[in-house]
Structure 1
Amino acid sequence: MKFEVTPGLRRLCATVLGMEAIVVGLVTPVAIMVNKVEPAVAVTAGVGLAVLCVVVTGMLKRPWAYVAGSFLQVLAIATGFLVPAMFFLGVIFAALWITAIIVARRVEGVTSR
């Protein structure tokens, strides 16, 4: 099965990753101030993951970027070890990521007929 990148798919997935970049970037101050995580660990996890989200968003023209985006969803869930609320938010973003892929493929399939 060939994975075809369409404009609608790119648009929806870019939206999810863009919003996710903001949320995981905000993990940094919460982890430091509320959960007393070492600043180096919090910055690496929060800001590093936010930057990765932005980079992958820019690469969404390539099929492998969707695999990378899926891996980012796992990393977002894993930030729950720093900020427990991220377990919930990470699962929400993973569900949005999967939904974006499914909905875009359905819509693009219907409009291509």
Structure 2
Amino acid sequence: MRDPKRVMAATVLVFEALVVVFASLVAKDLSGLSTLQAVGGGAVLALVLVLSSGLVGRPGGYWWGSLLQVVVVATGIWVPTMVGVGLLFTGLWVAAVVIGTRIDRERAAL
């Protein structure tokens, strides 16, 4: 059986990567960034998020995922709406880790 904490955390990172890609397309028009900076930066961040979903469950994987939440919120420097989006995903990240940990404990108790 798969580790629910790991599955939920990795899912949050992958969906967050999709949102970052779409947000980078918006950022090219709403920010002072060039198209290359906005779309390229968004693509790099999205790629890091997807690759990091594979690190979840390994030593330091959850800390790395938490750091990426800070990075996504920080993109609000260029697109202020990303602060809200980043905080939303930070909440999902925390929920995935907390609820996943609780499920792991309950399974272990059985």
Give the TM-score taking structure 1 as reference length. Answer: 0.88
In structure 1, stretches of 5+ residues that fail to align are: 1-5
Give the TM-score taking structure 2 as reference length. Answer: 0.90
The residue aligned with 1:111 is 107
More contact order relative to length (CA 8 Å, sep ≥ 6): 2
User: How far apart in 2 are the matches of 1:7 and 1:111?
Assistant: 10
What CA RMSD, in Å, does the superposition of the two structures yield over aligned residues? 1.4
Preserved CA contact (<8 Å) 2:32 2:78? no
Match of 2:33 among 20, 33, 37: 37
Preserved CA contact (<8 Å) 1:45 1:79? no
The Cα of 1:45 is off from its aligned counterpart by 2.7
Match of 2:84 among 75, 88, 98: 88
Match of 1:66 among 58, 62, 65: 62
The residue aligned with 2:20 is 24
The residue aligned with 1:47 is 43
**C-alpha offsets along residues 28-60 of structure 1, whole Å, 9 cap, x if unaligned?**
211112334222321343111100101101122
Preserved CA contact (<8 Å) 1:18 1:53? yes
Aligned length: 108
The AA in structure 1 aligned to 2:10 is A
**C-alpha offsets along residues 60-97 of structure 1, whole Å, 9 cap, x if unaligned?**
23121111100100000011111111000000101110
